């Protein structure tokens, strides 16, 4: 069965999930995460990808990125995967694949959903019970967006920049977003988008996306099978 084609339009943010095969650990040390982050930065610069949010967990990664060219994200992830898997296999004297065959991806509607997706990503360590506050986890973009730490990899999205007129004001407003838990329904919408690759957005926006791109935003029901 042929793979479903991706639709990650230039200029539209996308949520990317890369998992270790069979939930296998892909980061065994801080050095591993640093190596991955370094090649992610290289790949983003090489292929034209803007990185807005991220979290690196022991066996998977979440990224919120905007492509500036056709195939930017796919080329970046292929470049990163090739270099990192080679590094990881050499370091731990192993062979074979490390990540699932294909990373998951879905576009994200900018208004209403982008900041929610960013929070979802940075709250991953909290949901996993690793920390009680996202600021306690060093391998996420929360340190940049909420705490103002300089990170070369980070490009603030326009939605983030609208949170305030100064860096300090934006950081304060962003931290306040975390004072309320993400709604259960919103988390379900994000997980559904992860599974299907459909746009994370309002129903009206998804229909507009389907009309403009030709990429279906719902599972079409099959007609009756006439060949019995």
What pLDDT does residue 127 have? Answer: 96
Domain ranges of the chain: 14-213
Q: Is the pLDDT of residue 125 over 60?
A: yes
Q: Is the pLDDT of residue 130 over 60?
A: yes
Task: Kindly state the average pLDDT of the residues 127-137.
Answer: 97
What pLDDT does residue 1 have? Answer: 44
Tell me the Ramachandran region of residue 96: left when phi exceeds 0, alpha when psi lies from -120 to 50, beta otherwise. Answer: left
> Per residue in 153-198, pLDDT tens?
999 999 999 999 999 999 999 999 999 999 999 999 999 999 999 9
Task: Kindly state the average pLDDT of the residues 51-80.
Answer: 97
What pLDDT does residue 189 have? Answer: 96
What pLDDT does residue 3 have? Answer: 62
Q: Is the pLDDT of residue 10 over 80?
A: yes
- CATH code 3.30.70.1290 for 14-213: yes
Cα distances (angstroms) measured from residue 200 to each of 15, 76, 142, 187, 192: 9, 22, 21, 11, 8
Q: Is the pLDDT of residue 129 over 50?
A: yes
What pLDDT does residue 96 have? Answer: 92
Q: Sheet with 49-56: list strands edge to edge.
A: 49-56, 60-67, 14-19, 104-107
Question: pTM of the predicted model, to two decimals?
Answer: 0.93
What pLDDT does residue 112 have? Answer: 84
What pLDDT does residue 114 have? Answer: 97
What pLDDT does residue 13 have? Answer: 97
Determine the Cα–Cα distance for residues 72 and 207; give it in Å rounded to an integer. 25
Helices and strands per DSSP (H, E), number in the chain = 9, 4
Beta bridge partner(s), residue 154: 51
């Amino acid at each position: 069965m042929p793979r479903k084609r991706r639709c990650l339009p230039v200029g539209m943010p996308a949520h990317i999930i890369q998992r270790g095969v069979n939930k296998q650990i892909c980061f065994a040390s801080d050095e591993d995460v640093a190596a991955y982050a370094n090649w992610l930065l290289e790949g983003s610069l090489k292929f034209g990808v803007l990185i807005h949010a991220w979290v690196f967990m022991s066996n998977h990664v979440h990224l919120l990125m905007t492509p500036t060219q056709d195939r930017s994200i796919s080329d970046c992830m292929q470049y990163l995967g090739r270099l990192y898997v080679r590094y990881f296999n050499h370091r731990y004297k192993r062979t074979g694949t490390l990540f699932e065959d294909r990373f998951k991806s879905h576009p994200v509607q900018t208004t209403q959903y982008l900041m929610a997706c960013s929070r979802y990503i940075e709250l991953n360590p909290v949901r996993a019970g690793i920390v009680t506050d996202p600021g306690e986890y060093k391998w996420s973009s929360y340190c940049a967006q909420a705490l103002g730490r300089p990170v070369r990899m980070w490009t603030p999205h326009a939605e983030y920049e609208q949170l305030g007129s100064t860096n300090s004001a934006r950081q304060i407003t962003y931290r306040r977003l975390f004072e309320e838990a993400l709604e259960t329904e919103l988390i379900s919408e994000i997980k559904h988008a992860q599974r299907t690759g459909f746009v994370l957005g309002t129903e009206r926006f998804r229909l507009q996306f389907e009309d403009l791109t030709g990429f279906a935003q719902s599972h079409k029901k099959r007609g009756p099978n006439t060949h019995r």
